[in-house]
Amino acid sequence: MTTIQQRQDEIIANIAQAAYNQPVLSNGFLFEGDVRDNFYYASYLFAASVDPTITFEGDRNEAKDKAEGVFLHLLEIQDQDPASSTYGHWPLNLRPTPQEASKNTLPVELMGSLMVYFAQRYQEQLSEALRVAFDNTLRHIYDSNFYRKPLTSYGHHEAKYTAAKLVFGQRYEDAALIRDGYESLQLTLKRVTANGMTEYGGLPWFWHWVQAFTCAWQLIQDTDIRSELSRMLDYLWSERATFYLGGAWIGPHARIWPHDMPKDTNVLHDYVQYGDFKLPTHMPRTEYAGFLAYEAPAQTIQTALHRSSVPVEIKRQIPKQIGQAQHENDHLHSYVYVTESFAMGGMWERIREFDNEQHRWDIAFPLDHVQGVNHAYFFHPDLEQPEGDLRHQSEYTEVLFHKQVIMASYSIPEDQPGYIKGCLPLGEWVESPSGLFGRVGNALIAVYIQQPYHREVLEDRCFVTSRGRTNAVVVECLDQSNAELLSIRDVQHFAEMMTDKQPTYGENNTITYTSLSNQTLLLSGDPTKEISKRIDGEVIDFNSYTIA
């Protein structure tokens, strides 16, 4: 097993090489789409150019000059007019030109504190011109006061403001700002430990929490504040470990991007912390995983890396948040069933969250167990869903979760798209009129679909569609050891056995299914009737769901 430092060096080497090979655009930048990528890639390139222990194929002097050139162009386009409403800010994208692009509040939130870290770490190796430019830029960030905002939603923006208060307060010896940041940190930690994070599984937001507070922890000298930052980071990594399986993020998500689903590719911080999967060549969000590191407590790492052979159920209450209005006594409920080979579950309640990106339910597999995507799920698409996107689910779904079974019913109105979409990992699959039966990694999976379906095998996934305004999907998973106990020989044998167990579909969109563990599950999903969700006749009890 490699060390955290070795894994960080591997990331630095890979991204630095990519930056070295990336042509400089006519405007002096490497990227136009997101200004922050220029900062990240230039940072990695500079780090490799001045550290002979980092593997690097190229001229290090040339690499350093290239990195400094990108930095100078980047710092030059900051709004440095104190009278401007966007004082201290950068454009997010650089079109039509870096000078004409409109300024945005997002880049400085995270990039500002990271710039302090970079300028401090490499102050001896920076050229005089770049050192002066960084000093100038950081002073404008501090004077802009972008971070001087009260805590209201306890979300990722305020986490970054809190870290910035501490970082810039220390740099400019602003005792009042440090005190504000410390109080904000204490209030935030108290809030999330007592109530949970409203941004559950919120990628990439969660990593912004981790980066912001790790950056502050690595810079802050005050021992009391650093201890509180440690407690915050211990909490964050405990949360991550709970919902971790071999690089996969298991359970429901408040928000996902295409690089989070149906394949986990925003994995660099996981790789640095755990290192139990191969570093991917495609790294869509490089950010600062190669520089920032906080080693999680031993028990947390144990939880993440050594899943027991005995499956566990994770039942959580999550505070509901709609926009900026937070309701402390109004909770959502998430459920995840975790084994060594797969994890499955989701969110019992539907809520329309930011950008309508709630990911309701799925089955997740460890990254190194599959080729291509590592999540399996179905959903009814929202009217606003872009073509080809596998996110943005509608509200017309009812779900039931119990151990290795997920049931989902879809009652779709006439004014909505009359079909459901599904994504399955590549594997060994058998098709039958009632559904699909396959082996994915070390798991067997049965997918029953009420209406006729069409499966298309793509390069990295199976894409499934099924038409019908009343539809349902029932999924049951089985790990290798349980398959052996049932004397299942192969996928074909599994398909034959499971075909005889298909669900019963009744009136009012009622689905009844008896699992391999001989438990009878009932889901009535007709929104015009009383919704019923029962396991062996018993209604689901949410009293056992906890904050942590």
Question: 155-180: string of b/e by CB count within 10 Å (b at 16+)?
Answer: bbbbbbbbbbbbbbbbbeeeeebbeb
Contact 428, 438 (CB under 8 A): yes
Angle at CA of residue 159, ends 156 and 162, nearest 5°: 155
118, burial (CB in 10 Å: exposed 0-12, middle 13-18, buried 19+) = buried
Q: Walk along the chain (548 residues) and give the pLDDT tens digit of each residue.
A: 899 999 999 999 999 999 999 999 999 999 999 999 999 999 999 999 999 999 999 999 999 999 999 999 999 999 999 999 999 999 999 999 999 999 999 999 999 999 999 999 999 999 999 999 999 999 999 999 999 999 998 999 999 999 999 999 999 999 999 999 999 999 999 999 999 999 999 888 999 999 999 999 999 999 999 999 999 999 999 999 999 999 999 999 999 999 999 999 999 999 999 999 999 999 999 999 999 999 999 999 999 999 988 999 999 999 987 554 455 568 999 999 999 999 999 999 999 888 899 999 999 999 999 999 999 999 999 987 777 789 999 999 999 999 999 999 999 999 999 999 999 999 999 999 989 999 999 999 999 999 999 999 999 999 999 999 999 999 999 998 899 999 999 999 999 999 989 999 998 889 999 999 999 999 986 666 677 888 888 989 898 999 87
Torsions phi, psi for 218 (to 5 deg): -75, -20
| Amino acid found at 349 | E
The span from the first CA to the last CA of the chain, in angstroms, equals 30
> Token digits for 95?
């079109």
- Angle, CA 503 vertex, CA 502 and CA 509 arms, to 5°: 150
CA–chain centroid gap for 229, Å, is 22
- Residue 353: predicted pLDDT: 87
The tokens for 210 are 């981790």
pLDDT score at 528: 65
Is the separation of the CB atoms in 511 and 458 below 8 Å?
no
Map out the domains of the chain as residue ranges.
Answer: 4-229, 312-544
Do residues 109 and 164 lie in contact, with contact meaning Cβ atoms separated by under 8 Å?
yes
Determine the distance from the C-alpha atom of residue 321 to the mean position of all C-alpha atoms in its chain, rounded to a whole number. 18
At residue 325, the pLDDT reads 47
Q: How many residues does the chain have?
A: 548
CA distance readout (Å), 402 to 335, 398, 485, 526: 8, 14, 21, 20
Bridge partners of 347, per DSSP, are 334
Determine contact, residues 478/340, Cβ cutoff 8 Å. Answer: no
Q: In sequence order, what are the residues at sequence separation of 6 or more whose Cβ sits closer than 8 angstroms to the Cβ of residue 185? A: 162, 166, 225, 228, 229, 232
- Quote the DSSP letter at residue 204: T
